[in-house]
Every structure is written in structure tokens, then in C-alpha cells.
Structure 1
Amino acid sequence: MISKKTVLITGCSDGGIGSALAQLFHQRGYHVFATARDTTKMSALKELSDLTQLTLDVVKSSDIQAAVEQVSQRTGGKLDCLVNNAGRNHFMPILDEDLDLVKDLFQINFYGPIALTQAFAPLLIPAKGMAVYITTISGYLNVPYMGKTDFGTLGTYAASKRSLEIVADTLRLELAPFGVDVLEVVTGGVKTQGQTYFGDFKLPPDSLYKSQEAVIAGRAQGRDGFPRIEAEDYATTVVDEIDKRTTGRIWCGNNADAVRLSMTATAVPQSVMDAGAVMGCGLDALGK
């Protein structure tokens, strides 16, 4: 039976935020349940003691139930922290979206974390634990056709993540009577492998934005000219706040503070905000 603090983290594949969080939690003395759809992609965690790797696809109820059973057996029915990190990035103008892909996106980024929270609540409550949601600045600024940039995003990806924040805000109130705290981590630019997934990005042949395909692809592939913080530094900030039992919302990552401040700058006209959002997106060229 595990006697130390425990944390389950989704989306722990190599080179990502989840892997960095798992390594730091391990250093802090937690027993880590690191999960991914494919455990062979968690090689950075393979040799760590007091770390259990689990196969977990957040859209598969059978995987979720199996994870709950395995954690419960190892911990005596308790879990100190659930970190909902797994998610899918996405880049596409809304007019070009494949709605079946959009539904899949919401299954992973929105419905999956809800399903995980429902399933693990019976373990979090006796531990008086924490539920943590990794979200993004993309839900606060509308940068055209982007799945994710340092200055935020617009469209389906942003909608899926902002929707999750609304759910987390509600859960913070609904779980409080049971001693469970909720934390949202609004994430800015972090160095991960996420940008490597869009090497063959293409717009549909009939896209209205075809002339700007190179611009969109460049942003999708991380060639946007904006710096990103190291995943290890990001993990340190997040785990520090979890250890302090911080609730509500924190902002972490490159440009996160700038976006946070812009949200409180109510005197800034929408036209000014929009002008900053479209900068470098190629829409000015389309208008001409």
C-alpha cells in the first residue's frame, strides 16, 4: 500500500508538460501515476522508482475505469491530486473545419477531463485532494485560425479549453463542501513537442485563406518568433502552487501575464485588441 502523497497526471508523453510535471512531482516525494495513450512514449519516466505508468485514453471509459481500479488498489481508495493535462492542439480557419474532427477535439479537451473528474471524485474526496486543469491563454484572445500561439487562439481549440475552465470554475464550488480544491493553470508559451505534429499542415484546396497557408503553417509549427519558457520552469511554478493548495486560477508560461493584464484592462477598445490579435496573421493582405 502506498503511504506517500499520490498524483495522477494525464498526457505524460515525452517532451510535454505532463512529463515535466511527473518528474518534478516524483522529485518532491509523490508517488506518480503517469498516464498516456501509449506507455512506450513515456521513456523519460521509465527508470523512475515510485512511479507507475498506466495506459489511459481519456475518451475511453474502459481505460478510465481500469485506471481508477488500479489507483484504488494501490492507495487504499484515495488520490491526493488529479492533473488533467492531456489534450489535443489544433490549427484551422473555422470556415475550413471538419466538424467530425471538431467533435473529436471536444471529446479529448472537454469531455475527457469531466469524465476523469467524475471517475476519480470518490478517491479525491476521502483524501481531501485537488483537481487540476491545464488550460490555455487561447481562451482569452482571439487570434485568427490558430489552434494555439503564445498570444492565444481563436476557434475550436480555444472554445474547448475555455469551456473546460467554465466547468472547473463550477467544480471549485461544487467540490468545496467535500474538501476538494480545484486549480486552473492558464498556460502561455511552453517549450514542448507540440509544434512537431504539424509538419505537413495544409489547408483545403478551396480555402479562402489558401494564400496565407505558409503563415498559418509557420505558426502551427512554432515558427511564430515568440519565445517559450522551459517545461521544467513551468512545472516548478505549477507544483509549487499545488503544494500550497492554491485554488482558483493561476497564469503561467510566456505571455500569460500579458494576457491576464489585458483581461483586466477594460478601458482598452475592442478595435485595439483585435488589431493586436490579427498582427502577423496575413488577414490584412487578404483584405487588400
Structure 2
Amino acid sequence: MPDKTVLITGCSAGGIGYALAQHFQKRGLTVFATARSLSSMTGLETLPNTTLLALDVTKPAEMAAAVEEVQTRTGGKLDYLVNNSGQQQFRPVLDHDIDQAKDMFEVNFWGVVRMVQAFAPLLIQAKGTLVNIGSIAAYLCPPFSGIYNASKAAVHALDETLRIELAPLQVKVLTVVTGSISTLITKKSPPPNLPPTSKYLPTEEYMEHLIQGTANFTTSKPAVFAEQVVQDVLNGVTGKTFRGANATATRFLPPLVPTFVKDKILTNGTGLDKVGK
């Protein structure tokens, strides 16, 4: 598949995008790996047929430069666009800083919209595939990540519309509903820093565990996840694919599990049982 091309956002080392870049390259694609900083992608520059681009999905000028670079190198086509850039913060909704919440939506949702608009001509020319990285958080809605949950739910809803709107243009859409993956994204989250007046002080220790990745969750390794997703993409899977730890359970169990049982699972060990007492 030497003529196929893919651009991936959010390719910092230790994350999903980095692993996706490695596996797409391994399968013979020409890869454009992007991140806000080139230095954060150390190691990818040694891979054949891989170009590193500095790209912040909140900066239209950098996006335009990336489009021009890809257009020049590929003759105006892009077979796969993978929107993976994202950030995550842990804080109760009542204590969430609105400006920080808006910043998260700028990356997780509006960044996707910008990328789709910018690269649509190249995808249309290639009759390509748009791949957006979603999350089981949009289905489960765990506590302390309400804004993140909402941003991913927005991406899922956007994809359903894009799937219909892009079909006449012969561009396919795939939403990757991502389970729990052992990446560095949570460690980049700011500390909760709850105000002294917060109702949720008993939960702060649990949020620190979420940030440090020491909460008691089953996770998948990025390489395993990436291999599965790349296979899905190259097989032409469209609609939704559920990949990563807990993703399959999220796909099938929620309609069968009573709400009070789900709530008990999501709140167990969080400290929420001590709130309001």
C-alpha cells in the first residue's frame, strides 16, 4: 500500500497517536505525524516514509501550513485523516474553571471541526476516510470528567452527521470508541486544586490517582490498541469500532445494566459517598 497516506494529530511519545503512526508506517503507508512540538515526537523521525509536522489544532495558521505541506507532497490527496489530539482534566463540574473547560473543547471538539474543514478537499480528492478518536467516557459518563465526557459525546454526534453529509462525496467516517489505554494524557492534566469551599474535597485524593494513572483500572497498551485500529481502518470499517480495555463491555452491557448498578460501579472508591456528610 505504498501510495496510501495518513495524517495523525496528537502524536506525542507515550500516547495513542505515536503508536498509530508506528503501526500505519509498519503497514506501508506514508505517514504525516503531527503534534504541537516536534521534540515531543522523538523517535518517529527515524521511520521511513514518515514526516513530522508541528501542528496545534487550535491554531488555523499551523493548520493551513500543514495542509499546504501535505498537498505538495501527495499531489493534493489524503487517504486517511486521524483526529486524535485531545486533553483531559479531572474536576467536578461545580468546581470546573470555565476558561479551562472551553480550552478543552477547543482541542477535543473544535479542533476536530477545524481539521475536517481544512483537510476535506484532500480527503474528497482521495475518496478517503475520516477517523475520529472518541471515548467510552461519552457512554459511561464517569464522575470528575464531565467536560471531557461532553467533548467526546459531541465528537460522536458530529461524526454521525458527517457520516451522512460526506457520503455523497465518497468520504467514509469511522469513530473509534476508545476504552482505557495506558497513556500519558492524564499525567498532563492540571491538579484538581479544589477550592476550600468545595463540596467535593473528600474526592480530591481519588482525582489525584486518576491523574497519576494509579486508579484501579484495567488498561490496554497503546501498541495493542493501535494495531487493532489500523487494521480496522485498512479493512474499510466505518461507523463505530470499539477498541481498548472495557470498550466491548461498554458497547453491549449498558442497556442490560440498571442505572443504579452502573452508578455504583462508577462511584465505588471515589469518595463521593462522603460528599454532603
TM range (shorter): over 0.9
Superposed CA deviations along residues 116-157 of structure 1, whole A, max 9, x for unmatched, are 001111000111100000011111113211x3xxxxxxx100
Alpha-carbon distance between aligned partners in 1 of 2:91 and 2:58, rounded to the nearest angstrom: 22
Superposed, 1:1-288 pairs within 5 Å as 4-145=3-144, 147=145, 155-198=146-189, 200-265=191-256, 268-288=257-277
Alpha-carbon distance between aligned partners in 2 of 1:184 and 1:246, rounded to the nearest angstrom: 10
Q: Displacement of 1:200 after TM fit?
A: 4.7
Superposed CA deviations along residues 50-82 of structure 1, whole A, max 9, x for unmatched, are 111111100111011111111001111000000
Alpha-carbon distance between aligned partners in 2 of 1:132 and 1:243, rounded to the nearest angstrom: 11
Q: Displacement of 1:271 after TM fit?
A: 2.1
- The question of whether the paired residues in 2 share the 8 Å contact of 1:202 and 1:217 is answered with no
Q: Displacement of 1:280 after TM fit?
A: 1.5
When the two structures are aligned, how many residues end up with a matched partner?
277
Q: Displacement of 1:286 after TM fit?
A: 2.1
Superposed CA deviations along residues 104-123 of structure 1, whole A, max 9, x for unmatched, are 11110000111100111100
Q: Displacement of 1:198 after TM fit?
A: 4.3
Question: CA distance change for structure 1 residues 199 and 164 in 2, over 3 Å: closer, same or farther?
Answer: closer
- The question of whether the paired residues in 2 share the 8 Å contact of 1:59 and 1:112 is answered with yes
3-state SS in 1 of match to 2:62: helix
Superposed CA deviations along residues 174-223 of structure 1, whole A, max 9, x for unmatched, are 11111111000011111111232248543223221113211221122211
In structure 1, stretches of 5+ residues that fail to align are 148-154
In structure 2, stretches of 5+ residues that fail to align are none
Alpha-carbon distance between aligned partners in 1 of 2:110 and 2:191, rounded to the nearest angstrom: 28
Of the structure 1 ranges 74-83 and 188-197, higher mean CA displacement relative to structure 2 is found in 188-197
Matching residue's letter, 1:64: M
- The question of whether the paired residues in 1 share the 8 Å contact of 2:12 and 2:41 is answered with yes
Alpha-carbon distance between aligned partners in 1 of 2:275 and 2:255, rounded to the nearest angstrom: 31
- The question of whether the paired residues in 1 share the 8 Å contact of 2:89 and 2:186 is answered with no
Deviating 4+ runs (over 6 angstroms): none
- Superposition TM-score, scaled by structure 1 size: 0.92
- The question of whether the paired residues in 2 share the 8 Å contact of 1:102 and 1:156 is answered with yes
Alpha-carbon distance between aligned partners in 1 of 2:149 and 2:267, rounded to the nearest angstrom: 16
- Superposition TM-score, scaled by structure 2 size: 0.96
3-state SS in 2 of match to 1:215: helix
1:150 aligned residue: none
3-state SS in 1 of match to 2:188: helix
Alpha-carbon distance between aligned partners in 2 of 1:214 and 1:50, rounded to the nearest angstrom: 45
* Percentage of matched positions with identical amino acids: 47
